[in-house]
Every structure is written in C-alpha cells, then in structure tokens.
Chains A and B, each alone.
Chain A
Amino acid sequence: MTPAVAKYVAFARVAAAQVRHERSDLAGRVLFFAVILGVFSSLWRAAVDAGLPVGADSKQLLWYLAITEWITLSTPQIHLDIQDTIRRGDVIYRLGRPASFVLAELAAGLGLLAVRLPVLGLAAVGCAAWFTGWVPPLTALAIVVPIGIAAAVMLTALHVWIGLLAFWLQDVSPVYWVCQKLLFVLGGMMLPLQLYPELVQRLAALTPCPVLLAAPASFVLGSPAMAPRTLIVRLALWSGAIALGMRWTFRRAAADLMINGG
C-alpha cells in the first residue's frame, strides 16, 4: 500500500474503531431495522391480500425494503461532522495537513460504513428471512450485495458533498432533508418505482436516486429495473459526477475562505 493511500486507510480505521465502541447506536439501528421490517411484513401481507397489483408477492416486497433500508441505514450522516468542523473553524487546521480534507472525510465515512454494512446486512437477511420464511435466489443476492455496497459508498460521497455546502450555508440540514425526501420518493425507498405514477417514474430516471436504492433492490423482485452491467455503468457515471461536484465545491470554498484571528 502506498503512503498516499495508507493515510486515508488510517482515517477509515480510526472512524471504524470509534463506531465499534458506540454499540448502543448500532444496536438501536438493528432494533429499528427489525421493527420496520416487522411492520412492513404485516403491511405487505395485508396489501397483497387486498389485491396489490404488482408483479411481486409480499415476500419479495419485504426483501426489497430490507435492501433499500440496508443501504440507507448503513450510510453515515457524515455531513453533520463536516458541518461542525467547518462551523467551528477547525477546517483551517485541517487544510494545513498533508492529506486532502475531502478525502479524509470520505475515508472516515467509509470507515463507519465498513462496520455498519456487515452488521446491518446480517440484520437485514436475518429479519427478512425470519419474517418471510423465504430467501431470494443466491444468484440475485450475489448481485445485490456488491451493488448495494457500491450504492452505499456513492451515498456516503453524496453526504460529504452536502457537508461541504456548510462553507456557504450555516446549516446544511435542509439540503439533507430535501435529498432524503427525493430518495424516499424518486429512489423508491419503500415502494418499488413501478407502483408510482408514470410522471414520478420519468422524473426519477433523470436523477441518481433509482441507481442508489430502487435498482439494486429490484434484483430481489425477480424483475430487475435494469441489467447489472447497465446499473454498474450508471453507478460509475453518477459517482464520477459526485466526485467532480465535491472537487469543484471544495476548491471554490477554499479559494473564498477568509481566515480571521488566530
């Protein structure tokens, strides 16, 4: 491992070590996950009994939700840490270090993700299997897992980008909320996109939201939203766009940064 990479791995390891000590938070997430899946297990059974016209049964719908929630609940709210660092002015001390501020924050986010993804992944599989008494074909899971991890990484990068907006906005929470709501509807977080009106589906196709949640989870529905190769290409393209956005935002911010006092 080159020293350039090793320093960011160190940031990730420190963050991972911290989250491992916050067991109550992780336990709370697992509990919340189990409750949500339990509630939706009943809801989907009732909806399918009532004649929900979607090409999937209640078991597949619950697994779909388990995948979308696995990705969203695993992704750290790193934008809040970045916002605090910027608002406190600590970012000034970080700029002088021989490591990129943005990459260090992203590495820390990935460190958190490295702990949460396996824990919540096990919770997702365990709860979904228990509530449905069914497991999707292993071929589908073999596609979902790596693509889900890639989507979670891209979502973490998106949170980093939102955090960088704190250079101009005092509070980035409204931006985060809007992003979360877009993911909720256009990402098909709880309902597969084909259940939404045509207009919503068309709008969704213009955003990265379906690539982050609906498309990876659709592999357990038996009717994937797109072929794995197409999804990987789109994930790569949107990741590239986010990376460029982060780079541009940070360069603009660093150029405009005013240092007062000492």
Chain B
Amino acid sequence: MNRNSLVFARSLLATNVKAALALRGALATQVALMALNNLTFFVFWWALMARVPVIRGWRLGDVQLLFGLVAAAFGLTVALAGGVRQLGRFIEDGDLDTLLTQPRSVLVYALGMRSHPPGIGDVVSGAFLIATSGYLSLRSAPLLIVAIGASAVMFLATGVLFFSVAFWLGRVESIARQMWELLITFSLYPEPLFGGVLRLALFTILPAGFVGYLPAAVVRTPSLPHVCLLVGGAAAYLALAVAVFNRGLRRYASGSRFSTFG
C-alpha cells in the first residue's frame, strides 16, 4: 500500500466518523447495545468459571483476555473498514463499477466506503474485558496494541479472502459470511479445547489461531518468536488477500451500473 492510499484511507475514515457523529443519539444507543450484547454473552463464562475455576489451564482472566482481544479487533475492523462485510455483495451486484473509475485503490475504497458504528461498542466491551482480565499493565500495553492490531488485520484479510471468492463463484455471500462468523466463533474459545486436524485448520484455512489464540499467547507469555509469528502471519495473510482481490478484479464483470458518485 503506497502513501497515497494511506492518506486516502484516512480521509475515508474521517468522512465515516463525521457521518456517524451526525446522528449522535443513534450512535450512542448502538454502541451501548453492542457493548451490552458482548458482556451478556460473557455472562456464560462468568457463570461457568465460577463453578470450574480452571479449564485446561485457562482461568477466567485468560478467557476474558481472549474475548476482549477478539472483540476489540473485530470492532476495530468493522468500524474502520466496514465495507469488508459488504464486499461479496459489491462484487456480485456489480457495485464495484463506480469505484473502478476512481483514481484510487479499488480495495481501499471498497473497504473504507462503509463504516459499522456498533463496532465501537465491540471495542469498548473488549477494552473493558481486557482491563479487568488482570493482563493490563504498562509493560503489557505495547503487546496488547500489537495483538489487537494484528488480530484486526487478520479479520480484514480473511474477510477479503472469503468474500473475494465471489469473483470466481458468483453468489457466495451467504456462505462467505457464515465462514467469517465461524472464524469469530472459533476464535472466542480457548485453544486447548481443539486438537488434531482441527487445530491445523484453525491456523490455516480458518485462521482463528491468528485471530485469537496467538494474540492472547503474545500477551500471556510474551516472547519474540510469538510476536514475529503473529506479525508475520498477519502480514502474509494481508498480502495474500490483496493479491487474491486484485487477481479477481481482473475477472470482474461489470454490473452495467449507471449512477452518480461523489
């Protein structure tokens, strides 16, 4: 991504923030409800671990850290690059037509042209869970930032990869969305629950390992190899996603759409 694309992404973000702030009451309600939504889901873990304090080496604080990291990363992804959730539909319906004529990166434009404000609620609840997990300290703060950032990049990259399949297979939005949701589902549960072939799949095809387990490991047991693996994995997935999207864009068939844009 060149410097122009970064400046452009920042401008898109500023526009989305302005649009969201135009309806402050609605924004506040959505954010509060989303945060409440996540915390209600976590009631399950509070109730369970009040009875069983340790499950395969994971305590409540560890699960809180995992859940908080995933929620914050997901919220960051959909709040900043909400277009990823609609990428499949953009491709299927020929909605990329209007973006192709713009002198900017089609992918950056498609990702940044939508924002999902309730994602801020995910970030808020994620931050709350991390703050109360016992893992927040001055020393761990940089690791937490790296972990959330890398996890958000993984969410974005896998979203682009899954939805880009529409370039080749057409109407796959429903399946791609469900795959993305499965990624979230798997990443919210402690890694030791999964073994064998499933564990391999969770670090490759459905990389929940890079979304949840490895970021949590970076904070729980900090080590340089863990950090390198996490950052390298996120960068590799992002590069793959951009390459697949650009390859697919060459096959893109116009929706013969006529519309004004600006």
Contacts and interface: CB of A to CB of B under 8 A. Distances in A.
A43 interface: yes
Interface string B31-73: 0010011001101100110111011100000000000000000
A96 interface: no
A201 to B, nearest CB: 11
A39 B189 contact: yes
B175 interface: yes
Interface in A87-101: none
Interface in A204-251: none
Contacts of B30: 174
Interface residues of B, number: 32
Contact of A52 (B52, B172, B174): B52
B182 A50 contact: no
Interface stretch (A12-20, A115-123, A125-133, A183-191): A183-191
Main secondary structure of the interface of A (DSSP, over half): helix
B52 A50 contact: yes
Contacts of A51: 52
Contacts of A43: 55, 189, 193
Given A39-B185, A50-B54, A174 B33 contact: yes
Main secondary structure of the interface of B (DSSP, over half): helix
A202 interface: no
Interface of A: 22, 24-25, 27-28, 31-32, 35-36, 38-39, 42-43, 46-47, 50-54, 174, 177-178, 181, 184-185, 190-191, 195-197, 200
A39 B193 contact: yes
Contacts, number: 76
Interface in B164-197: 171-172, 174-175, 177-178, 181-182, 185-186, 189, 192-194
B186 A47 contact: no
B254 interface: no
Nearest to A174: B33
B29 interface: yes
A177 B30 CA distance: 11
Contact of A32 (B48, B52, B181): B181
B20 to A, nearest CB: 15
A53 B53 CA distance: 12
Contacts of A181: 36-37, 40-41
Contact of A184 (B40, B48, B177, B189): B40
Given A32-B181, A52-B52, A46 B44 contact: no
